[in-house]
Each structure stands twice: as C-alpha cells, then as structure tokens.
C-alpha cells in the first residue's frame, strides 16, 4: 500500500458561479453579464443560469459526494449573491440562509467545508463603476465582503481561501481575452496582479483580527512548473522569466510577503511596474498565508522567443518566452493539455525546499473529456478509466513527494459533479459524478466508485 497521512483530505472542488445557478441573485457577476451580452461566445450557448442546480439540490448533491468517500469539499461564496449593497456590504438574508444550509449540510455529512472568497466572479457593477480589480477601492470593498463571510460563517468554517487562481484573472481579463472584459493591456494586467495580492493580504489581516478559534486562511494558486525546452542558456533564461511571472508573482507574496526582486526589476525596466505604498508593503509583509492550495493540470514548457523581447509593440509578459510543445508528449486531446503527473512531485519538492515546507494540499487536479456518453456501459454508467488512470498516476507522484517530506495534507479533484466551465460551458466534463444538464439527473461514474475505495483505505494498492 501507498498510504497517505492520517486525516488526509480526500475530496473535490467546485465554485459558486459554476455550480449554484443564478437563482435568486440580486447582482450579476462578470460572467453572468458576459453571457447576457454575448451568449454566442459560450459553447452551445449554455450560460451560468442553471449550472448544476446546486442552489436547489445541495442536500442531495452533498450526500452523493459523501457516498463516494469525500471527507471535504471546497466551494466558494459568491460576492454577487451574498451582498445586497456592494458599497456598504449589507447582506442578503436568503443568501445567508443558503450558505448556512450548505455549510451545515456538509458538517452533518462529516465533511470539512473549505470556503473560497473569489473565483473569477467579481460583481460586474464594480467593474463598470471602478474598473474592477484595477482599483484599490474594489480591493477594500472585497475586504469588507470577506469580513462579512468570516463573521457569518467563521464559527463553522475553519479553512478559508482568499482567491482561486488569481493569475487567471490577470491573463483572462487583461492579456489573452478569454474572460470579460477581454482587454489587452499589459500595464493594467500588472496592476491587477498587484491588487489581487494586496486584496489577499488585506483579507488575511481582517481574518486575523477576528481571532477565529482553530481557523486557517490560505490562497489557491495554479502552480504550473516551468520546464525549459533545452539546457541552452537562452531556453533556461526564458524558463526563469516564465517562472517569475506565472508562479512567483503570487507564490512569493503569499508565503514570504514580498515580490521577487528580479520580477520587480524586469517590470521596472519595461515601465509597467505597479503602483504601491510603504503601508501596502507592510500589509503584504505581515499577512502571509497559513497554507497553500495548489491547482495543477499540465506543465508549462517554454523556449527562447522567436521574436526579440525588445521588439516594438504592446508589452506582454510572454514576449520573453514562447510555448514549447515537447515531441512525443502525452496529451488529453479533448482539452489539448499535456499529461505529465511527475510535475506534482516537482511541485511538492519545490514547496518543501523553497517555500518553508508550508502546509499545502492539491486543491484541483483533473481531466476534462468531451462527449462522455460514448463511454456509457449497458447499465448507463460512464466507464471513465482514463480519469482513474490520470488520478492514480498523479497520486503516486504526490505520495513520493510526501514520503520525501513535503507537507501535503490533501487531494481535491476538479470537480465532484460535472460543472459549468466558463466559455467552455459543458463541453468538457471533469466530475466523479455526471450531470444531465437537461434533466439534472446525476449519476456516479466508474471513477467515483474507484475514488471511494481509495478513500476507504487512505491510499493506493501497490
């Protein structure tokens, strides 16, 4: 047996905007609004209005999750659902009741609730009025929202996360046009990255002032290890800068309370460095995370750029590196992502050796596959052996990292139940549990039954 630590988290992750549906919400978030104005941009014109109906079926859904061995679940509290007046942070009673019921149901099922505060779902009014995360006013409004969450639910929720994949907000909204408002503006992107780090630190500061008993707060980062195409100096330099931007931009402030000096030097040279103050630097320094959540799907392979970085044009971080497709790589062809489980071991070692061996867990890992009905057996169950193989391989490498001393305390799959995935809608499915989005009938896949066996023995059979 490859046995995992005692009290290891076995579970999965979802989010409010991807599971709840838009039922009974006063405000639109940026994705709600984007679907309103450009439904054609979303796969098969499927938006977030219903999602997986968690708002109405949370009791049955959580019970089904527990039935496949999950002892923990991460989801998020929607700012656009909880808060009625975004300027004064008055709360919506129905939303408070809903989140109380979700938390209480998890606890009654013997599951640890992990609550995230921001999962790409900024209320669109705050973008319209202030420019969203470009504005430090929005940072402070977010902190007020976070304080309400801590006060309302902190008696039962003992694990909090400030953001999910903040780098995706930076890249999707301000660089590569896959999240509303689809801007290309490198200087704004850099300021947004800074402001998201500041928002996390300020929320942690507010959390600590409340002295909630036995509670911890962290952040969820998509750490994608960087691998150079070769040992050539120019490829190694490309990988160094890619690592600074893609990983260290959020990892260093979260754990050490400051940004990498090399990154600040580069952004200063390129005249795109963020605006900061000495007071904010102190807040960042003194409010680091208790733990890390790490989302991992695929490696990041880079090579020296084909075009010189000092070429004329809009500043973009990837002017310093180009993506590299390694010949012979394994790929999930439906999603287009390389499958490289060893990277999870490399993450474990990196955190152990370079980031204080801080407690961390795998907060997302998984594979999205389209048209899974083609894998249904005669009894109607989806036989997703490819997902079992994927998770098994990643767990084996994770176990190796834990054996070597990395302080990992859990593994969460993305996602428990097939959920709505932004512009991709329901094109690719990720869940242990399938969801017929027309009937909202949910059934356990083969991987769900396999996962239950893993959780029952707290490990993998050799």
**CA 182 centroid distance within chain:** 20
213 tagged catalytic: no
Collapse the DSSP code of 414 into the 3-class scheme (helix H, G, I; strand E, B; otherwise coil) and give the result.
strand
* Residue 207 contacts residue 450 (beta carbons within 8 Å): no
Residue 362: name the closest of 386, 341, 339 by CA: 341
DSSP 291: E
Collapse the DSSP code of 293 into the 3-class scheme (helix H, G, I; strand E, B; otherwise coil) and give the result.
strand
| Residues in the chain, total | 462
Give Cα separations from 296 to 28, 245, 276 (angstroms): 29, 16, 30
Residue 411: name the closest of 284, 296, 318, 324 by CA: 296
d(CA 254, CA 355): 10
Collapse the DSSP code of 29 into the 3-class scheme (helix H, G, I; strand E, B; otherwise coil) and give the result.
strand
DSSP 375: G
For 37-45, the CB contacts below 8 A with 24+ separation are 41/423, 42/423, 42/425, 43/423, 43/424, 43/425, 43/426, 43/427, 44/425, 44/426, 44/427
d(CA 370, CA 430): 9
d(CA 59, CA 398): 32
**In the numeric block, which tokens belong to residue 164?**
């999910």
Catalytic residue among 134, 252, 338, 364: 364
d(CA 65, CA 458): 17
364 tagged catalytic: yes
d(CA 289, CA 77): 19
d(CA 171, CA 303): 20
**In the numeric block, which tokens belong to residue 281?**
């630097």
Catalytic residue among 20, 134, 165, 171: 165
436 φ/ψ sector (left φ>0, alpha ψ -120 to 50, else beta): beta
Backbone angles phi, psi at 51, to 5 degrees: 50, -130
* Residue 27 contacts residue 10 (beta carbons within 8 Å): no
d(CA 96, CA 90): 11
Residues taking part in catalysis: 165, 364
């Amino acid at each position: 047996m490859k046995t995992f630590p005692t009290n290891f988290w076995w579970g999965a992750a979802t989010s409010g905007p991807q599971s709840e549906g838009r039922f009974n919400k006063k405000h639109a978030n940026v994705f709600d609004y984007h679907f309103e104005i450009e439904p054609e941009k979303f796969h098969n014109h499927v938006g977030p209005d219903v999602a997986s109906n968690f708002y109405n079926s949370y009791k049955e859904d959580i019970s089904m999750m527990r039935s496949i061995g999950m002892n923990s679940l991460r989801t998020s509290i929607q700012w656009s659902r909880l808060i009625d007046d975004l300027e004064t942070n008055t709360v919506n009673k129905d939303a408070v009741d809903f989140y109380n019921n979700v938390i209480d149901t998890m606890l009654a099922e013997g599951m640890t609730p992990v609550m995230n505060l921001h999962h790409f779902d900024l209320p669109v009014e705050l973008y319209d009025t202030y420019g969203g995360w470009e504005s430090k006013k929005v940072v402070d409004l977010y902190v007020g929202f976070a304080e309400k969450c801590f006060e309302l639910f902190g008696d039962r929720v003992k694990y909090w996360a400030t953001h999910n994949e903040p780098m995706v907000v930076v890249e999707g909204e301000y660089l590569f046009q896959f999240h509303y408002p689809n801007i290309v503006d490198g200087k704004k992107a850099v300021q947004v990255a800074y402001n998201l780090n500041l928002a996390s630190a300020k929320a942690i500061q507010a959390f600590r002032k409340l002295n909630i008993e036995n509670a911890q707060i962290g952040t969820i980062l998509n750490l994608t290890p960087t691998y150079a195409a070769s040992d050539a100096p120019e490829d190694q330099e490309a990988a160094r800068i890619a690592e600074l931007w893609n990983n260290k931009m959020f990892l260093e402030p979260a754990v050490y309370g400051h940004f990498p000096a090399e990154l600040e030097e580069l952004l200063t040279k390129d005249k795109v460095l963020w605006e900061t103050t000495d007071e904010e630097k102190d807040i960042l320094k003194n409010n680091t995370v208790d733990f890390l959540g790490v989302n991992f799907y695929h490696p990041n392979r880079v090579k020296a750029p084909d075009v010189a970085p000092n070429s004329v044009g809009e500043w973009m971080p990837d002017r310093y590196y180009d993506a590299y497709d390694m010949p012979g790589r394994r790929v999930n062809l439906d999603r287009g992502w390389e499958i490289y489980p060893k990277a999870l071991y490399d993450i474990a070692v990196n955190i152990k050796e370079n980031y204080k061996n801080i407690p961390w867990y795998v907060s997302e890992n998984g594979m999205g596959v389209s048209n899974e009905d083609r894998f249904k057996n005669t009894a109607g169950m989806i036989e997703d052996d490819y997902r079992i193989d994927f998770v098994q391989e990643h767990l084996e490498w994770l176990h190796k990292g834990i054996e070597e001393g990395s302080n990992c305390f859990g593994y969460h799959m993305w996602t428990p139940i097939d959920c709505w995935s932004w512009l991709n809608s329901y094109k690719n499915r990720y869940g242990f549990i399938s969801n017929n989005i027309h009937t909202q009938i949910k059934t356990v896949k083969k991987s769900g039954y396999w996962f239950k066996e893993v959780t029952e023995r707290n490990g993998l059979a050799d």
